[in-house]
Amino acid sequence: MKYNYIAIEGTIGAGKTSLATKIAEQFNAKLILEQFEENSFLPKFYKNPSKYAFPLEMSFLASRFHQLKDQLSSHDLFRSFTISDYFINKSLIFARKTLQNDEFILYSKFFNIINSSLPKPDLLVYLYLHVDRLKSNILKRGRSYEKNIKKSYLEKIQSGYFDYIKQQQNMRILIIDINKIDFVEKEEDYNKILSIIKQEYDPVIHRIDCT
């Protein structure tokens, strides 16, 4: 693998954790998985977004920062590289779509302080799936608090990711369209994605349709 730190991103249900886990296992990489199931605000947010958006986003930001600060500052000599199933900037992307304007301004101040002390990934991989498939994957994994997630919310988050990506400069970003494959169930599809990720890229945005 040509990169020391890879972050896998995508909207809810894109398969971030599955892909990061498979790659880590194959290459003996250090794996960082987001600990979202421990967040007590998440089920409350899905039931009442306006009331719980701010405490949810703040608690996620704190959790992500502490985890990444701890994991990325310690070097494991027995691991070939580091791969995570999220990027700290997702905090800002979600907050922009869920918070009121005055809340977001306050949130951004905290985020900028935190973000400046964390290393950026050498490669950011964004898994793109149509909203219908995202919704199908969410229902398939059977988390009770996710079953009522609306397609409109997924569309809003997806557009937030694209808005963020368009604004980035001097960063290796790889957008992979995975609508025509199933890398979880089919090994040949996983190998297709892997061969794409293993290539060397310039620090710009790259878009690849995985077929």
Q: Return the CA Rg of the chain.
A: 17
- Per the annotation, the verdict on 85 as an active-site residue is yes
Q: Is 39 exposed, middle or buried (0-12, 13-18, 19+ CB in 10 A)?
A: middle
Per-residue tokens: 176: 């992979």
Q: How far is CA 56 from CA 52, 109, 152, 164, 168, in A?
A: 6, 16, 19, 20, 26
Positions of E strands within 56-204: 82-84, 123-128, 173-177
Catalytic residue among 70, 85, 163, 202: 85
Residues labelled catalytic = 85
